[in-house]
Structure 1
């Protein structure tokens, strides 16, 4: 037994005193045949000295014992939240501050994105993205120039989420970026996946922030970045992570109300309704004091939101696989029209059908001379419809001019039926494919009583 009190001989010899308590013979005195005498503890003023002696004895026993407890380690202070935030932000910015990311490289990267990923992620507007990249490149050059100046000028950095997402998807296809992040050596060629992982890691860090609260921030850019990260994870054969990122993006999109045509539906309601006011404030839709026509920038911004949600729908159908990865978006609950290329590229006010509506032909359109303008289906032939000389209701309009009736007075173009865009048809096909995948993952024909 190890005691906290040592006999006089062990104390003088600075050795460990192994005894069963006071007034017992310790192991050292028993082996040498000497009397084992314990010192009388001091009281009163001398108590402090006795405590110091005992502490010194215990410390000596800790150094000489064969079964000593491990040494105590000093507790280190954890880095502060502010320093961690700065480190995460600096890591993401350092990746984008690389000298290899020139404007020419960015343009090539965007072309790669359009070639490989624009169908699943159709929300990047070319002019807007390229202007953002030029701003990012100019900010990077100014930062390099300001390093020699003191004090540095405080400037607001552009949002790096979208550039990091684009690089995470396309870096593997860019030879310069692959060679830069994964230099080839003898016997070890360059690994394209390393280049993509560099930017994906920076994107994860930027999305999570310091304590993870940034992930719950409803923002359109953050939703788009999560979708890009999900597509990257899917390409890296990490389907579970991809499904989780898509689920996060869908929840943020639903919080923002992207599954509804808020600008069109809410503004048409009675402004005196308290439910109307609450819903407007919740989704952040500003009520205009006077009716005002949408500008092309407003149309493009609305179409970008619409395409962002359809990207959520597409990846939800692609990554959901039955029982353990259920789908999160139900078509019957959607109140949003299908995307339009003309609205996205030119800012035209286009009306398309909705996914939960049956496919119908668009209303007839007539030219200025009262002659019906044929649709694309009619132009391709195979129809024997006769074109009347005069419109039935006497209202001349063009398919690209604003119609004059009360229900459609803010529409420039109809894209319904045969005139739907290719992206709208892709969404319809993916919806069918999602139903087939769900049926197949549930057992398919092995659990079907009757043949299809």
Structure 2
């Protein structure tokens, strides 16, 4: 009879449910590439292994630019109005290839950039359960592989080819996991954010970092509320949120944006040592207790490890950088020499911390060799810590360096405390210059003949980049302002050598970090700006290669700038970069040298057209109209009388 059901017929079962239906415990009809439930709800539909594409009127399969290898991510998207993405779980590279990437990750990034948030034995044993994190590590570390390693381990010609294949997979998994907070997904977003930053790929780094921070906050990783988990898991969670804070501080400085995570929201203890993690020992306490415990001898540095000292140094440096990001000189009614001022209090905190460091953590070649011998990224972290400690006394102090070019003298504006911007406070200038020169001396020591190749890995760190970029402006000021106290030939030559050491350090990174080319271009543009302001040497076209000597830019500068333009032209069209009239001011005259230096330093990831206003002003003469009520990411600048003075975005960090 029609319509009757044969009771003897076996029940048809779905062979496998998608991961979304499994997670939500809903019935899945097994339709691929998108099941009925996910299609009806408009949510992501993912499967544990790749399946052949099913063509349809609203779907297409997009793979990486090269021919897809087995395991490539298949990302299917409906038209732009839908925003639905379908991704299958990727097949990871071979274990030998992953072991090489893991080794590079441990050596170069895990300690200084991510607070050692992995328990390595457990991670390597169960790495297949953390596919997004693994792909993010490949996206970060494949750039360091030699062509021989790339061919041997991945079957590809170069690290660039590996990135072209696996970065789209990592991005697809980032989209897939963006609403699924977990420790592993938080870590994956942090690692991918740094990878995108170093690749100079638009603003993705800011977006991924924000997702990681939100995940950490959603899981309450900033609090000690995780007693249901074992000691080792609690420590990894703790370290993961410390890593969120580190990346937050880094990007806030680099992009001239406010920090996302306030210090008062932290209620977690300091990270323990790796040995304590292996033995499942309790943490050593909160960061506020660190200095007291060092002074009273209740904790030995070997019991604490390097991480607490590194985190404390980075936080103090970030506090000083924030004074500049928020343009506190234009806002604070108290002069920096007043002990009640925020500037004085934060400076005192840095000095107090520097004097509290135990002997084994002071800067010396012997101590550096000791930390290098420990391995696992301890040496680079030790170097970055001391460069940041010196840089902390440059990054805000340089706001008080008087620019004595002709136009700045004519303006003679004042700050919120009533100080003229031409005022020379000897103690502030001396502190700034001495620490900038100390940064140069440390670099020169590590770049010395016979040690360059051995020590190169010690310096390739985003934290080293931030430290040396903060010292660049004071060194140029010594060379060109010719302040009476520092105009002697020995000091000027010392500053020139230190600035050259900074440029050499950054230039050495350009073969693996695309972002380093932007930083190097900004350094050279700063030098050209000083030459233009003090010597009147203005090139006709900053992106061309003017004649050597006439413009102050040599042929190498022009070649590097052309390379930067080629890189910009090759950018992914989906990479968002703020440009003039689209996130940056447009068609204005830069009123003075200080503002032009800030303009050059603002968001090195921005489009190159941003610099045209600087050069238009330099070529046509300084404008005296100034800017009023300029909005920035860090706040709104009010009018300063007389006349209005734009301190723009961030003075060169």
Distance 1:168 1:128 in 2: 21
1:422 aligns with 2:306: yes
CA contact (8 A) 1:110 1:166 kept: yes
Please say if residues 359 and 416 of structure 1, whose CA atoms lie closer than 8 Å, have aligned partners that are also in contact: no
Which of 83, 93, 97 in structure 2 is aligned with 1:105?
Answer: 97
Q: How does 1:28-39 map to 2 (within 5 A)?
A: none
Does the residue aligned with 2:291 lie in a helix, a strand or coil? Answer: coil
Q: Matched residues in 2 for 1:194 and 1:313: separation?
A: 32
- Using a 3 Å threshold, how does the CA distance of structure 1 residues 316 and 87 change in structure 2: closer, same or farther? closer
Q: 1:392-428, CA deviations, whole angstroms, 9 ceiling, x for partnerless residues?
A: xxxxxxxxxxxxxxxxxxxxxx857774220111111
Q: CA deviation at 1:321?
A: 2.7
The alpha-carbon distance between structure 1 residues 440 and 324, as it changes in their structure 2 partners (threshold 3 A), is: closer
Find the partner of 1:237 among 185, 197, 200.
200
Contact between 1:243 and 1:320, CA under 8 Å: does it hold in 2?
no
Which residue among 291, 295, 300 is the counterpart of 2:232?
A: 300
| Paired residues of 1:223 and 1:249 also in contact (CA < 8 A) | yes
2: CA distance between counterparts of 1:193 and 1:433? 34
User: Once the two structures are superposed, what CA deviation does each residue of 1:199-218 show, in whole Å capped at 9, x if it has no partner?
Assistant: 22101101212xxxx41222
Give the equivalent residue in structure 1 for 2:265. 333
Counterpart in 1 of 2:125? 131
Flag the 1:183–1:105 CA change in 2: closer, same or farther, 3 A.
closer
1:215 aligns with 2:196: no
In the superposition, relative to structure 1, how do residues 230 and 93 fare at CA in structure 2: closer, same or farther (>3 Å)? same
Bigger radius of gyration among the two: 1
Q: Which of the residues 162, 169, 187 maps onto 1:195?
A: 162
CA change 1:244–1:355 in 2 (3 A) is farther
Task: Spell out, residue by residue over 1:47-90, the C-alpha distance to the aligned partner (whole angstroms, 9 max, x if none).
Answer: xxxxxxxxxxxxxxxxxxxxxxxxxxxxx731399994999543
Partner of 2:57: 77
How many residues align structurally?
A: 259
The equivalent position to 1:310 in structure 2, one of 223, 232, 242, is 242
Q: Report the equivalent of 2:226.
A: 263
Alignment partner, residue 165 of structure 1? 136
Partner of 2:209: 246
Change (3 A) 1:183 1:255: closer
How far residue 239 of structure 1 moved from its aligned partner, in angstroms, is: 6.8
Instruction: Measure, in 1, the Cα distance between the counterparts of 2:181 and 2:270.
Output: 23
Correspondence 1:52-91 to 2 at 5 A: 77-79=57-59, 84=76, 88-90=86-88
Q: CA deviation at 1:329?
A: 1.1
Distance 1:362 1:196 in 2: 44
Q: How many angstroms apart in 2 are the aligned matches of 1:329 and 1:359? A: 22
Q: Is the 8 A contact 1:322 1:438 kept in 2?
A: no
Q: Do 2:156 and 2:162's aligned partners in 1 also have CA atoms closer than 8 Å?
A: no
The 2-side partners of 1:231 and 1:333 are apart by 23
Distance 2:75 2:190 in 1: 29
**Aligned-partner Cα distance in 2 for 1:159–1:303:** 18
> Quick one: distance in 1 between partners of 2:103 and 2:255?
37
Q: In structure 2, the residue corresponding to 1:217 is in which secondary structure?
A: coil
CA deviation profile, 1:143-163 (whole Å, cap 9, x unmatched)? xxxxxxxxxxxxxxx341121
The one of 167, 174, 177 aligned to 2:145: 174
Q: Is residue 246–residue 316 contact of structure 1 (8 Å, CA) maintained in 2? A: yes
Match of 2:90 in 1: 93
Q: 1:88 to 1:129 in 2, by over 3 A?
A: farther
User: Could you tell me which of 412, 428, 436 is aligned with 2:320?
Assistant: 436
CA distance in 2: counterparts of 1:357 and 1:351, whole angstroms? 12
**For 1:272-421, what aligned pairs fall within 5 Å after superposition?**
286=228, 298-321=230-253, 325-342=257-274, 345-357=277-289, 359-361=291-293, 415=299, 419-421=303-305
Mapped to 2, the partners of 1:113 and 1:226 lie a distance apart of: 15
Residue 56 of structure 1 is matched in structure 2 by none
String of CA shifts for 1:87-145, please: whole Å, max 9, x gaps: 9543x514x2x5xx2x3332222111110111212112111121124xx4xxxxxxxxx
Cα distance change, pair 322–228 in 1 and its aligned pair in 2 (3 A): closer
Tell me how far apart the structure 1 counterparts of residues 75 and 215 of structure 2 sit (CA, whole Å): 28
Separation in 1 of the partners of 2:60 and 2:202? 34
Question: Within 2, Cα distance between the matches of 1:349 and 1:225?
Answer: 26
Q: State the Cα deviation string for residues 345-381 of structure 1 (Å, max 9, x = none).
A: 32332332323446222799xxxxxxxxxx6xxxxxx
Gaps of at least 5 residues in structure 1 are: 1-75, 137-157, 185-189, 265-285, 287-293, 365-374, 376-413
Unpaired segments ≥5 residues, structure 2:
1-55, 62-73, 78-83, 328-395, 401-414, 420-424, 429-653
2:478 maps to none
CA–CA separation in structure 2 for the residues paired with 1:182 and 1:347: 39
With the length of structure 1 as denominator, give the TM-score of the two structures.
0.50
The CA distance in 2 between the partners of 1:78 and 1:415, in whole Å, is 63
1:249, 1:238 → 2: CA distance?
Answer: 18
* Alpha carbons of structure 1 residues 83 and 436: separation in structure 2 relative to 1, 3 Å: closer
